Amino acid sequence: MPRQKYRGGAKGRGNSSRGGRGGKRGGHGGSGGPRAPRQSFQEVNKTNEKFERFYNELDIVPEGEEREQFWEALRRELPNSFRFCGSKGHALAVQKNLTERYIPTITSVKFNGENVAAPEPLPWYPAGLAWQMTTPKQVVRKFPPFAAFQKFLVSETSVGNISRQEAVSMIPPLVLDVQSQHTVLDLCAAPGSKSAQLIEALHAGEEARMRQTLLKSREGQGNGAKSPAAINSADEEIEGEDWGDDGRSTGLLVANDMNYQRAQMLVHQVKRLNSPNLVVMNHDATLFPSIQLPSEPIEGSDKMRTKWLKFDRILADVPCSGDGTCRKNPNIWKDWIPGNALGLYITQVRILVRSLQMLKVGGRVVYSTCSMNPVENEAVISSAIDRCGGVEKVEIIDCSDRLSGLKRYPGLTDWKVIDKGGKIWNKWEDVEDAKAKQFEANLERLVPGMFPSSSGIPIERCMRVYPHQQDTGGFFITVLEKKSEIRAKPESAAKQSTTPSVVSIAKEIEAKKDESGPVPMQSVNEYMEHNGEGTHGVTDQSNASAAQRSNKEVIERPLPPSNKRPAEEGDSESAQIKRAKVELEDQDTQVVGEVGQMEHYPPPPVNQQAYEDIGEVNAPAEDRPQRENRRRNNQPHEESFKYLKPDHPEIDNIFKFYGLPERFPRDRFMVRNEAGEPAKAIYYTTELAKKILTTNEGKGMKFVHSGIKMFVKQDVQGADTCRWRIQTEGLPLIEGWVDEERVVRIYKKSTLQFLLREMFPKTSAPELGEAKEQIHKMAMGCSICRIEPSDDDEDGFSERIVLPIWRSVASVNLMLPKEDRKAMLLRIYNDDTPLIDHSQQLKPKPRDDNERSEKSLNEAKDATGTNGVREETFDDEEDGGVKLDAAADETVETADATAPLGMKGVGTEESAMEAEDALRKEQEMLVDEAKDAEAAPEREGEEDRMNTTV
């Protein structure tokens, strides 16, 4: 691996090349001084002699009228585009609002005597779920219909129903063809828009499959008529065949980014989709480590077989110079230089080769860039295929029949290369001749692989998208399929590392065995025979599955793997350097692969100590001694993912309270603290995510995020009330299994509108309609509110909605953030009136100590008939509600703060519980505080902010 001086800033298609190795587009670092003022799109001079001359000489579009259209399009501002997210049914429901409510008002607007163009669906995106708008900004800002439309976009984006994304960047996930059972890797994932698409593909059809599973389950118990899944589900179209986990998607997305801050941005983006089928990592994409799975015993032997995770699909949206984004980033016009692409070529090849190594046989990699330069595109594809063994090993898939409405050009079969000085070269032989005559610094970055290959690779199957074709940015996409196992060739014989690898050391020892006698180490041949990696290994296993071919047997004394990894220099300097650069130091170049070496040999970087005892390596994760996580310089502390035992008391309590059947998995719940005890939140992951997190714990893997919050601890009154409420994130997975005793059903729009608009209404409120009697009979605590479809066109619903609801002593509240409430009111009712927060009436008034007297307490008792016992409430930053101990934080117009005050200045309820319950609650809180003190604090932004009581 060549040592690279990478000075990339954060990914963002910015002023320079896309720098990084799993970060992305080079961004806006600073050099210590003030940043230059940003120019508007119109102010930037959109000419660059080298840029225009190079692409004209490449002849990427025919000379004449079309070439003029190409350059005119590049100089125009990029249209806005957005995508409807979530399940197909839900996305279509949100889309319906756009087509029926907002587009008719927009098309009625006239500007300069002509009707304004309304947003239009992208013709190639499935189900019309992606749209583009070309309306000028001055029009959008001037006319009221656009203000309402903008409000709709902002509202739905904030709750994750709409994603604003460049149109061409939506293409790679579509052609990757992800299925719900696939294991997927997004190597360069931040900021996460493509990862979001991949997650949606993993969950396609999941809701319908789970409903069908529930229906059959309850019918088998003889109560199918009561099942909510029975409503309109018998004729439901089922998508996908992933039934192995009761209809839940069994696939997984591993989303990676090299930069830790960018990885956190990625987490923020994808968390809105509430997927337990996600693991976020923080590694260099060129050196992405192999992920170990639990070892399996070999039949008829006392040995264990080590398993490594292989992927069905990999997306490599690699770092690039980004010159196809100059419509969005006009500064590229003045900053573009030929060296941008030259410095990234080797990094791009390494990422693609590493992707192919980690891919299952029969799996697919999509390689994409937002560059138009063939050095970053066709040259990378050709070089990677050559290194992996040619077209017999890796095939370029013809996607001409995919996305039929997408206009595209085929890949270039012939191209030229421009050096750092701007001189254009036709072939590598000309470069060699020039180098032989005299030294030229401008030629140092040119290598043979940058030029067209003569190896017969069908490079024309690649796809090029140009701005003038459908008013988009420039983009390059290629779909590759792995035909058989590969052994990557070295990058160059002249660039072999002077540092011997584990394999070469072993070979040297083997060669000296006859001279020096026996050595305390197995020969390479013996080792490879034990592990199925001999020269015959691939052919002998040609009929085995990809998973079998990727596994190997653990010997009694394995070769210890190297712990040494190159430093990620870009992380510490990204804030100081403005332009991303990659400089190669040829004299210290190390190869990625070695001839005759399988892709997973040696094993992935792990702690050396873990391999000192083979019995310890193969012990179950829960039986393994816990080791202290070591923290690298400038690296964040390793995250904690501690799984709870299935019979944990808190899990038992939750299952009993909600009436969850034993069929629902109990062994996938985890916490995010070092103590491993549930203090604030309990998370849920898939089975595969659990295997990955537990098997690789303490082995140098940098896991950033996984799991969704399923339960959050809540202060409650009463010993029989469960203290764990269901979080909105985990609701879709668990709601169908909750017992009918904890379900409220709503059929009328007017009832839901009341609950959305008013927070903490009394349980006696007549506006609760058909839900009033159900709520009155329900015990305190968290329940499920199901909004069911009905035949009432005026006051009924056409789609299912499920929400968490909390029943307090004398009030009820939907557990939704204010943003979600407002978005639903706007979407369903076109209602943007302010929310009404009844808990504001219980807000304490400032008072001195003398006023907090027994007289005040007695007055409060007389006024309310209670004993001053506290009422639950919630912070709106997470799931809705307010803090009643922070009056300055809330500005709800309807709050009058006139309610009588009881003990400690808190509001009281009519039907308060007995004093001994309050005392028991105080004791429980003391126990919780002790637990919280022992447990490590959760990651910033992960804490629950609804856990307050008044």
What's the count of helices (H) and strands (E) in the chain, helices before strands?
31, 34
Higher local confidence (pLDDT), 615 or 215: 215
Say which range, 400-414, 424-438, 449-463, 855-869, has the weakest mean pLDDT.
855-869
- pLDDT tier at 159 (50, 70, 90 boundaries)? confident
Q: Which residues contact 748 (CB under 8 A, 6 or more apart)?
A: 769, 770, 792, 795, 796
Sign of CA dihedral 906, 911, 914, 918: negative
Residue 215 has what pLDDT? 85
Pairing of strands 278-281, 252-256: parallel
Average pLDDT over residues 632-651: 79
Q: Produce one character per residue of 255-281: b if its CB has 16 or more CB atoms within 10 Å, e if not.
A: bbbbbbbbbbbbbebbbbbbbbbbbbb
Helices (DSSP H) in 221-321: which residue ranges?
260-270
Residue 504 has what pLDDT? 43
Average pLDDT over residues 753-772: 93
Instruction: Give the residue among 693, 742, 705 at the shortest CA–CA distance from 722.
Output: 742
Sign of CA dihedral 423, 425, 430, 431: positive
Residue 7 has what pLDDT? 33
Query: Which of 331-335, 473-477, 524-528, 601-605 ranks highest by mean pLDDT?
Result: 473-477
pLDDT (tens digit per residue) in 610-623: 333 333 333 344 44
Q: Is 110 helix (H, G, I), strand (E, B) or coil?
A: strand
Average pLDDT over residues 502-509: 47
- Residue 901 CB neighbour total at 10 angstroms: 25
Distance of alpha carbon 622 from alpha carbon 695, whole angstroms: 9
Q: Which residues contact 246 (CB under 8 A, 6 or more apart)?
A: 210, 213, 663
Residue 814 has what pLDDT? 94
State yes or no: pLDDT of 855 exceeds 80.
no
Q: Tokens at residue 431, please? A: 């470069």
Longest Cα–Cα distance in the chain: 103
- Give the residue ranges of the annotated binding site for S-adenosyl-L-methionine: 188-194, 257, 284, 317
- pLDDT tier at 739 (50, 70, 90 boundaries)? very high
Query: Which of 80-89, 236-245, 754-763 ranks highest by mean pLDDT?
Result: 754-763
Is the Cβ–Cβ distance between 255 and 22 less than 8 Å?
Answer: no
Higher local confidence (pLDDT), 441 or 919: 441
Residue 193 half-sphere exposure, CB side, CA atoms within 13 Å? 20
Q: How far from 318 is each of 6, 340, 399, 457, 488, CA to CA, in Å? A: 15, 14, 20, 21, 19
Higher local confidence (pLDDT), 885 or 238: 238
State yes or no: pLDDT of 558 exceeds 90.
no
Alpha-carbon dihedral 809, 811, 814, 820, rounded to 10 degrees: -130
* E strand or H helix that includes residue 642: strand 642-643
Is the Cβ–Cβ distance between 173 and 240 less than 8 Å?
Answer: no
Is the Cβ–Cβ distance between 885 and 950 less than 8 Å?
Answer: yes
Average pLDDT over residues 172-200: 95
Q: Tokens at residue 706, please? A: 């996984």
Distance of alpha carbon 413 from alpha carbon 459, whole angstroms: 6
pLDDT (tens digit per residue) in 34-92: 445 556 666 788 899 999 999 999 999 999 999 999 999 999 999 999 999 877 677 88
State yes or no: pLDDT of 585 exceeds 60.
no
Q: Tokens at residue 879, please? A: 């799931």
Residue 116 has what pLDDT? 84
Q: Token match 């203090």: residue?
A: 679
| 722 is annotated as an active-site residue | no
Q: How far from 692 is each of 254, 281, 293, 644, 863, CA to CA, in Å? A: 10, 12, 6, 16, 58
Q: Pick the catalytic residue: 85, 326, 370, 722? A: 370
Q: Which residues contact 344 (CB under 8 A, 6 or more apart)?
A: 17, 18, 19, 319, 320, 321, 376, 582
Q: Is 552 helix (H, G, I), strand (E, B) or coil?
A: strand
Helices (DSSP H) in 517-672: which residue ranges?
524-531, 537-540, 546-549, 569-573, 614-617, 649-658
Residue 476 has what pLDDT? 98
Task: Give the E-state strand segments of 322-420 in sequence order.
Answer: 359-369, 394-396, 409-410, 417-418
Task: Give the E-state strand segments of 63-106 in sequence order.
Answer: 80-84
Task: Give the E-state strand segments of 235-380 in sequence order.
Answer: 252-256, 278-281, 292-297, 304-308, 311-317, 359-369
Q: Tell me the DSSP string of 151-190.
A: HHHHHHHHTTSEEE--GGGGHHHHHH---TT-EEEETT-T
Instruction: Give the residue among 355, 344, 427, 416 at the shortest CA–CA distance from 384.
Output: 355
- pLDDT tier at 155 (50, 70, 90 boundaries)? confident
Instruction: Give the residue among 669, 738, 759 at the shortest CA–CA distance from 708.
Output: 669
The helix-helix angle for 502-511 and 524-531 (nearest 10°) equals: 130
Q: Token match 């076109």: residue?
A: 830
**Residue type for 688, please?**
L
The helix-helix angle for 345-358 and 378-387 (nearest 10°) equals: 50
Q: Tokens at residue 130, please? A: 């992606």
Residue 391 has what pLDDT? 94
Instruction: Give the residue among 945, 839, 847 at the shortest CA–CA distance from 892.
Output: 839
Q: Tokens at residue 127, please? A: 């189900």
Residue 300 has what pLDDT? 83
Q: Tell me the DSSP string of 504-523.
A: HHHHHHHHTHHHH---SS--
State yes or no: pLDDT of 563 exceeds 80.
no
State yes or no: pLDDT of 824 exceeds 70.
yes
Is the Cβ–Cβ distance between 242 and 252 less than 8 Å?
Answer: no
Q: Is 292 helix (H, G, I), strand (E, B) or coil?
A: strand
Instruction: Give the residue among 500, 510, 506, 552 at the shortest CA–CA distance from 531.
Output: 552
Distance of alpha carbon 793 from alpha carbon 780, whole angstroms: 33
Average pLDDT over residues 410-420: 95
Distance of alpha carbon 365 from alpha carbon 570, whole angstroms: 26
- Residue 236 CB neighbour total at 10 angstroms: 16
Average pLDDT of the chain is 75
Residue 901 has what pLDDT? 32
Instruction: Give the residue among 330, 426, 416 at the shortest CA–CA distance from 373.
Output: 416
- pLDDT tier at 594 (50, 70, 90 boundaries)? very low
Residue 829 half-sphere exposure, CB side, CA atoms within 13 Å? 20
